[in-house]
């Protein structure tokens, strides 16, 4: 399997290197925490998911959320999104992603919580 190596300073105090799936999780977390169009020169990077947090979770809204999750995850060539589910929560929204690392064997479950109070997306 290909080894992905990257650099991370968030919640890191001595070892700043992340590899493989931990690096992919950090990069996906960054993409889900940045508003679409927020980075100069990269208008398509980021997400519009925060506009759905306060919406009623109807079938149309859920389909739009899943399409946005697919778009964001599809922006990372190292992973393939196998499935995603959306669950409304009291303080936000829980999104379960089943992702497979390209050239990997099995899909892994990532649970992403979008907290409307802190406006942060975190993997739990």
Residue spans per domain, the chain = 5-123
pLDDT of residue 8: 58
Report, as an integer, the average pLDDT of 68-97.
92
pLDDT of residue 99: 93
> Residues of 23-51 as b/e, b for ≥16 C-beta within 10 angstroms?
bbbbbbbebbbbebeeeeeeeebbbebbe
**Which is more confidently placed, 107 or 64?**
64
pLDDT digits (tens, 9 = 90+) for 42-60: 888 889 998 888 788 788 9
The SS3 of residue 94 is strand
Structure confidence at residue 86 as a pLDDT band (50, 70, 90): very high
pLDDT higher than threshold 60 for residue 2: no
95 φ/ψ angles, rounded to the nearest 5 degrees: -120, 125
The pTM score is 0.82
pLDDT higher than threshold 90 for residue 27: no
The pLDDT > 90 percentage for the chain reads 40
pLDDT higher than threshold 60 for residue 7: no
5-123 maps to CATH 3.10.450.40: yes
CB atoms within 10 A of CB 59: 7
pLDDT digits (tens, 9 = 90+) for 93-111: 999 999 998 877 778 999 9
């Amino acid at each position: 399997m290909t080894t992905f190596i990257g650099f991370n300073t968030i919640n890191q105090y001595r070892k700043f290197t992340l590899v493989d799936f931990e690096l992919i999780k950090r990069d996906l977390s960054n993409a889900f925490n940045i508003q679409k169009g927020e980075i100069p020169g990269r208008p398509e990077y980021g997400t519009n998911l925060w506009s759905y947090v306060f919406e009623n979770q109807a079938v149309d809204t859920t389909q739009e959320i899943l399409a946005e999750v697919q778009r964001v995850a599809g922006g990372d060539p190292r992973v393939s999104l196998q499935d995603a589910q959306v669950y409304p929560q009291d303080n936000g929204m829980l999104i379960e992603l089943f992702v497979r690392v390209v050239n990997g064997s099995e899909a892994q479950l990532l649970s992403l919580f979008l907290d409307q109070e802190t406006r942060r997306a975190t993997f739990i």
